[in-house]
């Protein structure tokens, strides 16, 4: 069973040690929790926020900009996730629009999966490092393949109309791996 704080008066609540995982929460503007405690609540990114509370989330994000960067990123993540969910619901109800479908998947793949809309900034670097590592093996394999020795390598091709010409007698050369 998920905890539900819809309509609860949290104006004097200190949530700094509270675990908000899977919490259903519809904040009210006049009954907001203590901002310092709310910023340090655990699993804030797993909170389920309802669409009608998006303006309050935006106000919370503005309040967190005064020094609570992690909580601000979490609010941005929740806002963007809710916008993504609204767009997905809209596409399910209506005839699918190609532009909106592309926008949804573009945001989901490039922003949500990679960095969680800024919530996980190090994840992009990890993905970049892993891709570089993986693709370096593909590159090394292509250089080491004995069947392709005559064409594998780094090629330097000189332009015919370049400004300075070296005294090289060959028009192109290959740097082969040892």
Q: Which DSSP string corresponds to the chain?
A: ---B-TT---TT---TT-B-TT-EE---GGGPPPHHHHHT-BTGGG-EE-GGGHHHHHHHHHHHTTT-HHHHHHHHHHHHHHHHHHHHHHHHHSPPPHHHHHHHHHHIIIIIIHHGGGTSTHHHHHHHHHHHHHHHHHHHHHHH-GGGTTT-SEEEE--TT-SS--S-S-SEEEE---
Q: Are 165 and 93 in a shared domain?
A: no
- Same structural domain, 139 and 119: no
In this structure, is residue 156 part of a structural domain?
Answer: yes
119 and 146 belong to one structural domain: no
* pLDDT-derived band at 177, boundaries 50, 70, 90: very low
Q: Quick check: is 8 in a domain?
A: no
Is 28 part of a structural domain of the chain? yes
Q: Is residue 162 part of a domain?
A: yes
Residue 154 token pair: 């780094």
Summarize pLDDT for 68-93 with one digit per residue, the tens.
888 899 889 988 988 888 888 888 88
Tell me, yes or no, whether 141 lies in a domain: yes
The model carries a pTM of: 0.69
Domain count, the chain: 2
Please enumerate, as own/partner, the contacts of 18-25 that have beta carbons within 8 Å and a separation of 24 or more. 18/42, 19/43, 20/44, 20/46, 20/47, 21/46, 21/47, 22/46, 22/47, 22/48, 23/47, 23/48, 24/48, 24/50, 25/49, 25/50, 25/53
pLDDT computed for residue 178 by the predictor:
44
Same domain, 94 and 31: yes
Range of the domain at 59: 24-127
Q: What pLDDT score was predicted for residue 22?
A: 80
pLDDT in tens, 112-159: 999 999 999 899 999 999 999 999 988 887 777 666 656 666 666 777
Q: Are residues 86 and 118 in the same domain?
A: yes
Whether the Cβ atoms of residue 53 and residue 34 lie closer than 8 Å to each other: no
Query: Same domain, yes or no, for 75 and 94?
Result: yes
What is the per-residue pLDDT for 53?
73
Do residue 33 and residue 73 come from a single domain?
yes
Tell whether 49 is covered by a domain. yes
pLDDT at 171 over 80: no
Asked if residue 98 and residue 42 are part of one domain, the reply reads yes
User: Within a domain: residue 33?
Assistant: yes
Q: What is the band of 44 on the pLDDT scale with cuts at 50, 70, 90?
A: confident
Please indicate, yes or no, whether residues 120 and 65 belong to a single structural domain of this protein. Answer: yes
117 and 158 inside one domain? no
The verdict on 41 and 82 lying in the same domain is yes
- Cβ pair 10, 35 in contact under 8 A: no
Q: Does the residue 39 lie in any domain?
A: yes
**115 and 139 belong to one structural domain:** no
């Amino acid at each position: 069973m998920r905890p539900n704080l819809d309509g609860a008066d949290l104006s004097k609540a200190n949530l700094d040690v509270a675990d908000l995982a899977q919490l259903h929460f519809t904040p009210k503007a006049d009954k907001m929790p203590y901002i310092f405690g709310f910023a340090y609540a655990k699993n804030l990114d797993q909170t389920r926020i309802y669409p009608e509370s998006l303006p309050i989330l935006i106000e919370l994000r503005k309040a967190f900009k005064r020094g609570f960067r992690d909580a601000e990123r979490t609010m941005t993540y929740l806002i963007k996730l809710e916008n993504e969910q609204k767009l997905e619901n809209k596409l399910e109800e209506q005839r699918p629009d190609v532009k909106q479908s592309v926008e949804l998947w573009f945001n989901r793949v490039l922003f949500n999966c990679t960095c969680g809309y800024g919530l996980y900034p190090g994840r992009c670097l990890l993905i970049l490092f892993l891709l570089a590592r993986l693709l370096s093996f593909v590159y090394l394999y292509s250089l080491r393949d004995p069947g392709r020795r005559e064409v594998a390598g780094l090629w330097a091709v000189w332009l015919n109309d370049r400004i300075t010409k070296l005294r090289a007698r060959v028009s192109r050369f290959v740097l082969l791996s040892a």
